[in-house]
Amino acid sequence: MVDEEYQSTFNLLENHQEYTVFLYPMQTGTEKRQSTRYSPSASSGMPSGAMGGGSFVTSTYDATVSTRYAFVFKDDKLLFWGFLYEFGREDDETVANLGAKINDYLTKKKDS
Amino acid sequence: MIISQRKKIPNMNLRLTIPIVALTLLSSACSSNLTFSRIAPLQKKLTEEEVNKLVEIEATYEFTLHINADSSEYKVKSYTLSIGSYDSQFLFCFKNNKLLFWGYPHEFARANSPILNEIGEKSIAKIKQLEEL
């Protein structure tokens, strides 16, 4: 059903049970970004043929902004899915604890 | 001559790149809006101080609400959550200094709790009122 490549997958233990997490990048918005490149042929305001001609050209484009979206499986069955901030909000203690563990995993991965 | 011209280009690149990177880092560090990464570690029953430490920024609005469904007092803090160039309201609700619920206003409206439904509805009305001041 989710016809996209996952970003990462890993297993977590919670209360002696194993859970498999799949993280996907969910497109949640766009933002303006700028890219600057050196163009030898662009006008630098210098006389034609002068040494050092060309200039830096800046262009603006819409870049996709993605947010992590997680699917958690237990025994190959989908247990919970959502943005990471949604896990901790659940009344189900297992789901809330899994959310905290996913965050810990990602923080450790980022720091290493 | 051509060799010396080529040598200048990386230096010019470097001179431009350093201020651009510094400005980008500065602007992200000074951001006054919430981001998904800041709210990801939230857990129920965190104290207001613990939540403040996680989100690291000041709320746009904060107020208390009295709910018809029970006699408790609820504190609501409203933030602007930024996703790229799109900004939206994001609410934190505390009861007795413990985090009870957080989310977009529509998530309060669809929660399976009449109290949260009412908090969401009253918060939107209150924020609208504050915005008009």
**Quick check: A51 pLDDT over 60?**
no
Q: How far is B84 from chain A (nearest CA, A)?
A: 5
The H or E element spanning position A59 is: strand A55-74
Query: What confidence tier does A38 reach under pLDDT thresholds 50, 70, 90?
Result: confident
C-beta of residue B83 within 8 angstroms of C-beta of residue A29: yes
Q: What is the pLDDT averaged over residues B67-90?
A: 91
Interfacial residues of A (vs B; Cβ cutoff 8 Å): 28-32, 36, 38, 51-52, 56, 63, 65, 67-68, 83-86, 88-89, 96, 99-100, 103
Hey, how many other C-beta atoms are within 10 angstroms of the C-beta on B2?
Answer: 7
Q: Which residues of B touch A86 (CB under 8 A)?
A: 103
The answer to whether the CB atoms of B44 and A89 lie below 8 A apart is: yes
What is this model's ipTM?
0.71
Between B11 and A24, the more confident residue is A24
The verdict on a CB contact (< 8 Å) between A89 and B41 is no
Q: What is the pLDDT of residues B2-17, one digit of tens each?
A: 444 444 445 555 555 5
Does the pLDDT value for residue A44 go beyond 70? no
Compute φ and ψ for B75, nearest 5 degrees: -100, 130
What does the pLDDT read at residue B89?
Answer: 94
HEC assignment per residue over chain B: CHHHHHHHHHHHHHHHHHHHHHHHHHHHHCCCCECHHHHCCCCCCCEHHHHHHHHCCCCCEEEEEECCCCCCEEEEEEEEEEECCEEEEEEEEEECCEEEEEECHHHHHCCCCHHHHHHHHHHHHHHHHHHHC
Do the chains contact at A88 and B43, CB–CB below 8 Å?
A: yes
